[in-house]
Structure 1
Amino acid sequence: MSGDRVRYEKKDHVAYVTLDRPDVLNAMDRRTHEELAGIWDDTEADDDVRVVVLTGAGTRAFSVGQDLKERARLNEAGAQATTFGSRGQPGHPRLTDRFTLSKPVVARVHGYALGGGFELVLACDIVIASDDAVFALPEVRLGLIPGAGGVFRLPRQLPQKVAMGYLLTGRRMDAATALKYGLVNEVVPPEELDRCVAEWTDSLVRAAPLSVRAIKEAALRSLDLPLEEAFTAAYTWEERRRRSEDAIEGPRAFAAKRDPVWTGEYRPS
């Protein structure tokens, strides 16, 4: 399913999604978003895929976000200005507002992650960064807004005053600062980035796939719920896990002192 803008490969239960425009620091144009939409659909539908790794081609950038040259051309042609979310835009829903994606997404970040690139990172579940990574939401300096979720996610993932400082000034954040505030899970030298990502994906693949999906759904959907309501809310993937063969296999394998064999199969209600 690889296209002109995005490379897509699957191996050993891991889907690798690579923004492939290194000559423009993996800036995302409309065609990029169209290709990504099909890829996100496929990762969700393919039960053999248990985890997704998102990264950028080349050595200079994860992604610098929106292709501003294309945006300028669209503006000149009279295209309507965009606002929050991707509704009505190519590739809708994009990862940044694809709230029901049940597979965990790991961001492999090197170099620049700016604007929409940083917003992609904020939408991922686990983030591994090289120590040369640079994060920023510079939209305020361009007469724009971080409309792909940055204005909403950053204050949820950072202390409010810290988030507002970055949002309102467009200042850059280095990898060490991102690690300090918990925006990334690990920071490693560039030559160790692939090894570190592989360690995380190996751990995710070993985990029960339905448990992973149930936990992701419950954790994210309950963030804004009172604790008592979180316990009683209905979670689709938890219902599937609870009725699954894997829910039986895990304890059985533990009792037999062997590794579990996950099927990801569940009994329809």
Structure 2
Amino acid sequence: MNLRMHEQLSEIWDDFEQDEDIWVGVLTGAGDRSFSVGQDLRELAERNRAGIIRPSTFGSRGAVGWPRLTERFSLAKPLVARVNGYALGGGFELALACDIVVAAEHAVFALPEVKRGLVAGAGGVFRMTSQLPFKTALGYLLTGREFSAQRGYELGLVSEVVPAEDLDACVDRWVEDLVQCAPLAVRATKEAALRSANLPVEQAFATRYVWEERRMHSEDALEGPRAFAEKRPPRWQGK
């Protein structure tokens, strides 16, 4: 991922957020060798040599492509990561920022930044320690060790692992399940789950959720029970 790619991806995420005809996104890489192997270190080294880059740390504020996916904390639409091959460094951080991760059996995950004098600054440090047992997360963060798709599934980072030839069909099933649900209800659920993750239950109940307010007053909130009573599939409007 070079600076131009970050710039292009930012435009895509803007479109994804704003287009109400799009209810779910699937993020994947081209081919079967890698999902993404992260930052273009050759470009970084060249910029360092030219003296045209400031030292980097956590986050991308002020950098090209901000806010990047890993910092779009209010993105309520569901994202599925289709991981076919290596998901390393910033590539793995993209997958961690998705809601559902479907991986081919040969997929490999790692945050090897410490081996390059860097840190997993696109949220890897934070998301790994919040999504895994703390010592397990530290083991991978401090060593840059790789782990398999099956290990990722066992740890709860991967939603489903399938043979490479079944990957597309598996992703399609997840997408089909998502689009059968009311889009505002999906977004409200995602928002509430993310925002309440580290809150006491009492405080979670008392927190204001923007997408839940939209869902609560939407036509879809009436359509769901009505369709059930009339024994027909619901016709979601997403508004």
State TM-score, norm by structure 2.
Answer: 0.99
Q: Which structure dedicates a bigger proportion of its chain to helix? A: 2
Counterpart in the other structure of 1:164: 138
Tell me the percent identity: 65
Q: Distance in 2 between matches of 1:110 and 1:72?
A: 27
1:169-215 Cα shifts (integer Å, max 9, x gaps): 00001111001011000000000000000000000000000000100
1:176 to 150, 157, 182: 150
Partners of 1:60 and 1:111 within 8 A in 2: yes
Counterpart in the other structure of 1:89: 63
1:201 to 150, 172, 175: 175
Q: Distance in 1 between matches of 2:98 and 2:111?
A: 16
CA deviation after TM superposition for structure 1 residue 227, in Å: 0.7
- Greater relative CO (CA pairs within 8 A, separation 6+): 2
Q: Secondary structure at the match of 2:161?
A: strand
1:99 to 58, 65, 73: 73
Q: Secondary structure at the match of 1:57?
A: coil
CA deviation after TM superposition for structure 1 residue 81, in Å: 1.5
1:212 aligns with 2:212: no
Counterpart in the other structure of 1:246: 220
Counterpart in the other structure of 1:50: 23
Q: Distance in 1 between matches of 2:122 and 2:57?
A: 8
CA deviation after TM superposition for structure 1 residue 58, in Å: 1.3
Partners of 1:96 and 1:123 within 8 A in 2: yes
One-letter amino acid matched to 1:139: E
1:204-259 Cα shifts (integer Å, max 9, x gaps): 00000000010010100111211101001101000000000000000000000000
Q: Secondary structure at the match of 2:66?
A: coil
Partners of 1:116 and 1:148 within 8 A in 2: yes
CA deviation after TM superposition for structure 1 residue 160, in Å: 0.8
Q: Distance in 1 between matches of 2:155 and 2:31?
A: 27
1:148 to 122, 129, 139: 122
Structure 1 spans left out of the alignment, 5+ residues: 1-27
Q: Distance in 1 between matches of 2:63 and 2:163?
A: 37
Deviating above 6 A after TM superposition, structure 1's stretches of 4 or more consecutive aligned residues are none
2:2 to 20, 23, 29: 29
Q: Secondary structure at the match of 2:121?
A: coil
Which residues of 2 match residues 224-235 of structure 1 at below 5 A? 224-235=198-209
Give the aligned CA root-mean-square deviation in angstroms.
0.6
1:120-176 Cα shifts (integer Å, max 9, x gaps): 011100000000000000001100000000011101111111110000000001111
1:76 to 36, 40, 49: 49
Q: Secondary structure at the match of 2:81?
A: strand
Counterpart in the other structure of 1:222: 196
Q: Distance in 2 between matches of 1:41 and 1:212?
A: 19
One-letter amino acid matched to 2:58: F
1:87-136 Cα shifts (integer Å, max 9, x gaps): 01111000001101111000000110000000001110000000000000
CA deviation after TM superposition for structure 1 residue 59, in Å: 1.4
State TM-score, norm by structure 1.
Answer: 0.88
Paired residues, what number? 238
Q: Distance in 2 between matches of 1:107 and 1:144?
A: 24
Which residues of 2 match residues 114-125 of structure 1 at below 5 A? 114-125=88-99
One-letter amino acid matched to 1:155: T
Q: Distance in 2 between matches of 1:127 and 1:115?
A: 16
Q: Distance in 2 between matches of 1:81 and 1:138?
A: 18
Partners of 1:75 and 1:81 within 8 A in 2: no
One-letter amino acid matched to 1:87: R
Q: Distance in 2 between matches of 1:255 and 1:132?
A: 46
